[in-house]
Amino acid sequence: MDIIKNIVFWSQINTEQKLKVLSRPILNQKKTITKTVSQIINDVRILGDDALYKYTYKFDKINLKSIKVKFDHIANASTYINKNLKKSINIAKKNITLFHASQKNSPIKLNTQIGVTCEQLIRPIESVGIYIPGGSAPLISTVLMLAIPAYLSGCKKIVLCSPPNIDYAILYAAYICNVREIYQIGGAQAIAALAYGTKTIPKVNKIFGPGNMYVTEAKSQISNLLNNTSIDMLAGPSELMIIADEHANADFIASDLISQAEHGVDSQVFLVTSSIKLANNVLNSLKSQIHKISRITIVKKSLKNSFFIITKNLLEAVAISNMYAPEHLIIQTKKPRYLLQYIKNAGSIFLGLWSPESVGDYASGPNHVLPTYGYASSQSGLSVRDFQKYISVQELTLKGLLNISKTVKMLASAEKLDGHKYAVQSRIDYIKGKN
């Protein structure tokens, strides 16, 4: 049996079929989880810590002794991990810090007219919650991707939640990124706790991080329910689209597809190519490579959500990619930079033979928390900016006010808002009265 059953010739299917090919598997299951997640959120809101113990037992099969991870346990984590792993975490931390530090913006101050001074201040969000997935793999790299920009942007309180029995490497990464408050709670219940606060877990201003469909649905519901807790984005199951031509290496492509398919059964990967020969070679390579990896069952399941799309040419492949707006896009063609100019929607792009998506997941520098579900058409991957607020300030001199008064009064009259006009006029009358 073929490992990828879904091979389509784009020009031979109708619009409805095209939309189906590019639809996310998760959205088909959404209705069933909405109710489950809303029940979890409500329970955590009302019962607090008791609900956290209850759901951890139900979903993680663990009878928790304590929700908070002791500081000593975090600080000593370093002694339990291999020195080469530590070295890799440190190198990744350095690259991610370099890239994110360069995203830091400076405040703005300028005069738009004489006497009208306008500023943009930058203030960190005071408290942030970072969710580190841990259900099927301890995502050490996600700690770096969230804690580094949080710290660089000046956030004072960084609270980490992750499913119980947190891996030592996660604790070590958190520790070297200055995270001191860690709670071993996962899933929707962790998101609810960060949003409402419980006796043990503090309420935060903004919740960050990827997760499975329960985590993502909880973030979505929380952002609708509360106006004092926001979320970064809906970073759901991993997605990868690969645009390739006959110059690509089939083995490399097969390995890249596997790399994202192994995240979870709801991951989705695509090969979009103008070369039928390449598609066949990738298929054969997939069949032989899949046996080399441990998460073979997960990969097989997520390949069921996945497609090989054969296009007329590369520009048609680019159009498909823009329509899908993938979280990750690999371009493995003779001239990948040439196609780059036509890409409108993607979370993160990897160019050429030597740029596997995995390097971006771990260590190259940019953030791996990226918009999924097609949100890459309007949203960006995480950056330092997401941990900050931009506040504008205006200060006018008397001369500045006199200069701008006519403009404002005219616009206020046009909007029939006399109170606005009067706020300007009262000052002018005051000055006239003085002279």
Ligand X SMILES: NC(=O)c1ccc[n+]([C@@H]2O[C@H](COP(=O)([O-])OP(=O)(O)OC[C@H]3O[C@@H](n4cnc5c(N)ncnc54)[C@H](O)[C@@H]3O)[C@@H](O)[C@H]2O)c1
Q: Is 139 an interacting residue with respect to ligand X (CB under 6 A)? A: yes
In residues, how long is the chain?
435
- Identity of the residue, 221 or 372, whose beta carbon is nearer to ligand X in the bound complex: 372
Q: Which stretch binds ligand HSO (CB under 6 A): 137-145, 281-289, 317-325, 406-414?
A: 137-145
Query: Which of 74, 124, 142, 160: binder of ligand X (CB under 6 A)?
Result: 142
Query: What are the contacts of 358-365 at 24+ separation with CB within 8 A?
Result: 358/256, 358/259, 360/328, 361/141, 361/259, 362/92, 362/141, 363/88, 363/91, 363/92, 363/95, 363/96, 363/141, 364/95, 364/99, 365/95, 365/96, 365/98, 365/99, 365/100
DSSP code of residue 68: B
Site string for ligand X, 224-243 (x = CB under 6 A): -----------xxxx-----
Q: Measured from the CB of residue 192, what is the shortest distance to ligand HSO in angstroms?
A: 23
Q: Taking CB within 5 to 8 Å according to partner kind, which of ligand HSO, ligand X, Zn ion, none is near residue 206?
A: none
189 belongs to an annotated ligand binding site? yes
Task: Give me the sign of the Cα torsion angle 82, 87, 88, 89.
Answer: positive
142 binds ligand HSO (CB under 6 A): yes
Q: Is 122 exposed, middle or buried (0-12, 13-18, 19+ CB in 10 A)?
A: middle
- Sign of the dihedral defined by the CA atoms of residues 321, 327, 332, 337, in that order: positive
Question: Quick check: 362 binds ligand X (CB under 6 A)?
Answer: no
Q: Under rule CB under 6 A, which residues in 180-239 are in contact with ligand HSO? A: 238
Q: Mind telling me the catalytic residues?
A: 327-328
CA 79 to chain centre: 31
Interface map 84-123 toward ligand HSO (x if CB under 6 A): ----------------------------------------
Binding status of residue 306 toward ligand X by CB under 6 A: no
- The owner of tokens 């939309």 is 19
Cα distances (Å, whole numbers) of residue 138 to 26, 78, 214: 22, 16, 17
User: Which positions from 190 through 219 interact with ligand X, judged by CB under 6 A?
Assistant: 210-212, 214-215
Smallest separation, CB 225 to ligand X (Å): 18
Q: Does 372 bind ligand X (CB under 6 A)?
A: yes
Closest CA to 269 of 324, 202, 318, 222: 324
Q: In the range 302-361, which residues lie near ligand HSO by CB under 6 A?
A: 327, 361
| Residue 207 three-state SS | strand
Task: Give least dist CB 179 to ligand HSO, A.
Answer: 17
Residue pair 129/156 in contact (Cβ under 8 Å)? The answer is no
> Quick one: what does residue 141 bind among ligand X, Zn ion, ligand HSO, none, with the CB cut-off 5 to 8 Å set by partner type?
ligand HSO
Task: Please identify, among the stretches 139-147, 148-156, 296-304, 337-345, the one whose residues bind ligand HSO according to the rule CB under 6 A.
Answer: 139-147
Contact present, 398 and 428 (Cβ < 8 Å): no
Number of residues that bind ligand X (CB under 6 A): 32
The answer to whether the annotation marks 260 as part of a ligand binding site is yes
91, amino acid identity:
I
Residues that bind Zn ion (CB under 5 A): 361
Among 198, 267, 333, 383, contact with ligand X (rule: CB under 6 A): 267
- Minimum CB separation of residue 53 from Zn ion in Å reads 31
In the block, tokens 């371009």 appear at 331
Site for ligand HSO in 354-373 (CB under 6 A): 361, 368
Residues forming the annotated binding site? 131, 189, 212, 238, 260, 263, 328, 361, 415, 420
